[in-house]
Structure 1
């Protein structure tokens, strides 16, 4: 994605706080960029560069309508170079052995972490296919997709499913429309409200809680703005490939 000045369009989920908020800020720092957030915050349109569409991604029936609310003049986007969907929004709860979990929370975890990104990708494809330039879907994944964490069965299963869906969709896009590409990015242990939620767990809920308490105490958490800038810079520098899975901790800023 390197090159001269270009217009950039981003849709980022979960921009109210944490990594999503920092991703939106990092995207807005790019010249010629426009950012649409999908979050629970109130809707707004600011300076023709930033918009929020209010949506609860647990309500998957609302996703199609959310794309209809995006204020976009397709004629003005004739020089658009890149359109990007970042599926960042996620939930960790319930944190407990499956036998002790609430039915509703288990179902909501899979809806937000796996079902919603698949639906968002589907609707982004139809939204962006008429736009010029390259199109990217970036799925935020986790180390929990590759190793079991007792107490995180739903979260780990959803992220593992998202990893495989990423690889599958990459094959599909290569066949049906090579202008689209998709990758998965694990940001590492980022200092967000989710980490604070983990540290409040009991050992019965999450036996590995001490590991995360120590990470916070010893400065082992990455600031959200640092992870966000690294991700956006790596994406725009062309360091991601269709179908790839990346760990931001092993990538250097472009």
Structure 2
């Protein structure tokens, strides 16, 4: 049986991905704090709480989840959970916020991929990992030193893991969703300009209708997963599939 785990699947892009996977009759486990209210009651939707900032807790959950599956043939692991905080210049960041961001955006996805590869070998199922990345990984942005660098590190990890797997092992790819109308965008727009210099640009994206809906961005990813022959290690970008909003 084909199943999926989506971290951070309760809202935004994660919720959209969950919905599109369920539309394909795939059983989805949403690993998030609150769960997806719109999906509760659907036979293909399952919500589990796991503290993604605690490696020991979250890895224990992943191992237990896999061990409990009786008929798993393929697992889509969509690593979507993350944070844009701290949006602040170097010298003014809260050290605990730095630690949380590095754990959520980089350490946890790497550790989960590492364990998932091992479990897939042990239990004999096909594994496809998607690491959700960002255009912020491509260039420096004032106020995003942690967010951009963690996403850049995750991109390189994805490429390296794919290189090690080659064409004969598990599949791991990156997906860049570009700018969307989500809670994260609300956080960005409410930041002080002294902490994030591009605040007016992001406010203009909203005012000018340049933010894509999470549903269409999530739909692109699921179509790629279901209908294309995946290239191991590739960075898939939503802009290659949808008209530009710029």
> Do both share a fold (TM > 0.5)?
yes
Equivalent in 235, 239, 245 of residue 249 of structure 1: 239
Work out whether 1:50 is the aligned partner of 2:55: no
- Structure 1: 5+ residue stretches without partners: 1-6
Q: 1:246 to 1:69 in 2, by over 3 A?
A: same
The match for 2:58 is: 63
> Which residue is equivalent to 2:183?
193
Task: Tell me the distance in 2 between the aligned counterparts of 1:96 and 1:18.
Answer: 23
The offset of 1:88, in angstroms, is 0.5
Structure 2: how far apart are the matches of 1:195 and 1:34?
29
Identify the residue that residue 238 of structure 1 maps to in structure 2: 228
| Deviation string, structure 1 residues 157-187 (Cα, Å, up to 9, x no partner) | 0000001000100012228xx2411111100
CA–CA distance in structure 2, aligned partners of residues 94 and 47 of structure 1: 35
Alpha-carbon distance in 2 for matches of 1:45, 1:211:
37
Quote the offset at 1:240 in angstroms.
3.0
Structure 2 length normalisation: TM-score?
Answer: 0.90
Q: How many residues align?
A: 241
More off after superposition, 41-50 vs 87-96: 41-50
2:192 equivalent to 1:202: yes
Query: What is the TM-score with the length of structure 1 in the denominator?
Result: 0.87
Give structure 1 regions of 4+ aligned residues with deviation exceeding 3 angstroms: 42-48, 71-77, 130-134
Question: 1:1-254 to 2 correspondence within 5 Å?
Answer: 7-31=1-25, 33-41=26-34, 49-70=44-65, 74-77=69-72, 80=73, 82-131=74-123, 134-174=126-166, 178-251=168-241
Cα deviations by residue, 1:67-91 (Å, 9 ceiling, x for unpaired): 24427765434xx3x3211110010
Provide the secondary structure at the position in 2 that maps to 1:221. coil
Q: Which runs of 5+ in 2 are unaligned?
A: none
Please, what is the CA RMSD of the aligned residues? 2.3
Distance apart, 1:188 and its partner CA: 0.7
* Contact 1:53–1:70, Cα closer than 8 Å, also in 2: no
